[in-house]
Structure formats: structure tokens, C-alpha cells
Structure 1
Amino acid sequence: MQSKSYSARTLDAKALKSFAHPLRLRIYELLDEHGPSTATKLAALLGQNTGATSYHLRELAGHGMIEVVPGMGRGKEKYWRITPGGFSYGDPPSDPEAAGAMEFLLDDLVRQRGAELARWREEEGRAPEEWVRASGYGRRSLRLTPEESAALRDEVFEVLERYRALSDRRETESPDSRDPSMGRVVIHFDVLPVGAGQRPTEEGTP
């Protein structure tokens, strides 16, 4: 069953191949974590020269991943932000090079999730009490059909979409102001049919 997209756009083969670049992924992560930034500031964080970060920012912008923030910056200075609406990788592409890029991006996604979970476990003891109470870990193991699994996935994504739209409105309406009561909240959600790719044993038991 094809997944329903809850993002503003699905990356095409060219975008997948362009995004599957370590420095571009890191730039995207920094914009996601810290908000709008310039090529100069990103260069300092990454230990790169401004020319390199400018080039990679233009590549990301060319595929709609990021955009210039209207009204921010002086003169020719540009502040970049993640394009509101998000994106999805879509179904595996037929182009072998694009398929390889998607594999690279999915592996990096797994790495990023692990790093974020480890970071929160390390920071949790020092975090404000209200954020600790608002956080949560969750895992369930259920007996479901593929159709039920897809329905569950879609219902959860519909809830996430409402909050994503709320967050995007705040980013577009006041990109240069940060409410101290708000934080960057990461939600991890996966539906994984564990063992579905295993070959049955001789006895027929998965």
C-alpha cells in the first residue's frame, strides 16, 4: 500500500541525489535546530569557508529545501530557513543512483534519531521541570494487519500535521523572534513490521 504524504512536497530523484551530501545534511540540521542563519554564521559553525556554505545553501534552495527569510538581514545579507511544510522521501525510486541516495538519507535519519535520543537522555536531568513533564518515550508492540498498520500511521500523521502547521505559521509570521516559553520539540514516530523481511524457517515459523 502506498504511503499517504503529509508533507508539502515529495523529493524527486534530482532532489534526493542533491540532498544526500554530508555537508548539506549538516547545514539542514543546523537550520532546523537553531533557526534562520546566514552563510557566514553557518561557515563558522561548520569550520568551512563562506563560499562553500553559500554554494550548498543555493543547492538546497534550488530543490526547495530551504528559502530566504523575507525581511531579515542587512543589505545583501541573506538569512536562510527551512521551507515550511516539510518534505517526504516518497516511494523508492527506480533510478539506481536516486535509490542509493535515498538509502543514504534513510541511514542518516536513523543516525540522527539515535543521536537525538541520546542527547535528551544526557540533558534530561538538567532540563526545566515543565519540559521533562511534557516529554515522553513510547514503544508498543501490536498484532495488526498491513491495512490496520497503515490506518494507525495515517491517524498519527494527521495529528502531527496539525501541530506542524501551527509551528510553520509561527516561523513565517515572526521568523526573527523567539518566544522563551517555546522550544524545539522533536517527535520520533515509526511503524515497523519487525521480521516481515525474514525468510520462514523449515518449520514455517517466522
Structure 2
Amino acid sequence: MGSKSFSARTLDANALKSFAHPLRLRMYELLDEHGPSTATRLAALLGQNTGATSYHLRELARHGLIEVAQGMGRGKEKYWRVTPGGYSYGDAAADPETASALEFLLDDLVRQRGAELARWREEEPGAPEEWVRVSGYGRRSLRLTPEETGALRDEVFEVLQRYRSLSEGREPGPAGPRDPSIGHVVVHFDVLPLGAGRDASDASDAPDEPAS
């Protein structure tokens, strides 16, 4: 079963290599969480100088990861925002340099997810009750074929796409009061065929995983 694309674009080799930079990844995370911002504000948050953040913002924009937020800022001041529609990393890279960049990005994705889970565990006791009620941790261990696994993945991404479209119409502004009923909600979803790389003989000797 072929993989459907639920993102506005797939990053090409040049974009992957450019994005695989610790500061650019952190700047993208801040724009994603807090909404449009300037190079000056990001510099203050990250302990960098404005020249550095301006350069890295332009690099992110050059590859379509962020864009200028129209109608914000005065004079030459620019507000940058995450480009709507999202992105995907695509298939395995062909050349070693791009493959290394992709590995870096995937490792950072794992780091980010772990950090977000740990952050919510810390914040949950003090969070408003209405948000605690609708939060959740989920894990399921299933026995599926590759075709069934692909269908599951695509169905979940179709649901996420509907809510992403809803979310992108609610981009926060750089200042002023925010609607307290709308929060920054992070959804983690992974489909991991664990053990698929083992020999059949090794897999047959392994104990069954506990159901969850």
C-alpha cells in the first residue's frame, strides 16, 4: 500500500540538510508553539543576536518552512510564522549527506516528543480541570498486516488533517488577549512495526508482547 501525503509539501534534499540545524529546529518549535514572532524576540528567547536569528529565519523561509505573516509589524519589522499545511520528510534519502540530515531530524523528533511528554507530566497537576479531562496518553499493541497498518495510519492522518485545517484558521497574533478556550494541543502519533527487521526464526522464538 502506498503512503498518502497529508502535508502541504515533502522536504527535498536541500531543505532536509538546511533544516537539520539545532537553532533552526528550536526557532521553528517556538514559532509553532507561540505563533508569529520577530527575529528580535526570538533572539531574546534563545540568547542569540538578532543577526543570527534573522539569517536562520531567512534560511527556513527559503525552503518554505516559514513565511512572513502579512499584516503584522510596523515599518521594516517582520513577523514570521510557520507555513500552513505542514511538511513531511518523505522516503529514505539517496545520498549520504541527505541521509545523515534525515537521521538528525528523526532523532530530534524523538527528543522533542520525549520533552513534550515530560513537560505535560510536570504541568498536568496545575492545569485547568477541563484540559486535564480531555488530555490522554495512548498506546496499543496490535497484530496487523502491512496493508492493515497502512490503512490505520492513513485513517488517523485523515482525522488529524481535518483538525489541522481547523487549527490553522486560529493562528494567534503577536500581542493582545488570547481566547482562553483555545490551547496549544500537541498530538503524538506513531506507527512502529517493531521487530519487522528480525529474521522469521528470531521472531517465532520471541515472547508475545503484552496487550494494551
TM-score (norm 1): 0.95
Displacement, 1:202?
6.5
Take 1:179 and 1:85, find their aligned partners in 2: how far apart are those partners? 23
Residue 156 of structure 1: aligned partner: 156
Residue 85 of structure 1: aligned partner: 85
- Runs of 5+ consecutive residues of structure 2 not aligned to the other structure: 207-212
Alignment of 1:16-55 (within 5 A): 16-55=16-55
Contact 1:2 1:91 in 2 (8 A): no
Take 2:203 and 2:49, find their aligned partners in 1: how far apart are those partners? 60
Please give the secondary structure, in 1, of the residue aligned with 2:170: helix
Take 1:127 and 1:17, find their aligned partners in 2: how far apart are those partners? 38
Residue 68 of structure 1: aligned partner: 68
Displacement, 1:142?
0.5
Moved more, 1-10 or 160-169: 1-10
Tell me: CA distance 1:203–1:162, structure 2 relative to 1, closer, same or farther (3 Å).
closer
Contact 1:67 1:81 in 2 (8 A): yes
Displacement, 1:102?
0.6
Take 1:159 and 1:116, find their aligned partners in 2: how far apart are those partners? 22
Contact 1:20 1:102 in 2 (8 A): yes
Take 1:82 and 1:202, find their aligned partners in 2: how far apart are those partners? 45
2:182 matched to 1:188? no
Give deviations 1:142-193, integer Å, cap 9, x for gaps: 110000000000000000000001111222xx64563221000000001111
Give deviations 1:114-134, integer Å, cap 9, x for gaps: 000000011100000000001
Take 2:50 and 2:124, find their aligned partners in 1: how far apart are those partners? 35
Residue 130 of structure 2: aligned partner: 130
Tell me: CA distance 1:151–1:183, structure 2 relative to 1, closer, same or farther (3 Å).
same
Take 1:196 and 1:202, find their aligned partners in 2: how far apart are those partners? 11
Tell me: CA distance 1:202–1:147, structure 2 relative to 1, closer, same or farther (3 Å).
closer
Contact 1:84 1:168 in 2 (8 A): yes
Residue 116 of structure 1: aligned partner: 116
Residue 9 of structure 2: aligned partner: 9
Displacement, 1:93?
1.7
Runs of 4+ in 1 over 2 A off after TM superposition: 174-178, 198-206
Take 1:203 and 1:141, find their aligned partners in 2: how far apart are those partners? 16
User: Cα RMSD between the aligned structures?
Assistant: 1.5
Take 1:75 and 1:46, find their aligned partners in 2: how far apart are those partners? 24
Contact 1:6 1:158 in 2 (8 A): yes
Take 2:112 and 2:47, find their aligned partners in 1: how far apart are those partners? 20
Take 1:203 and 1:175, find their aligned partners in 2: how far apart are those partners? 52
Please give the secondary structure, in 2, of the residue aligned with 1:67: strand
Please give the secondary structure, in 1, of the residue aligned with 2:123: helix
AA partner of residue 65 (structure 1): L
Displacement, 1:33?
1.2
TM-score (norm 2): 0.92
Residue 146 of structure 1: aligned partner: 146
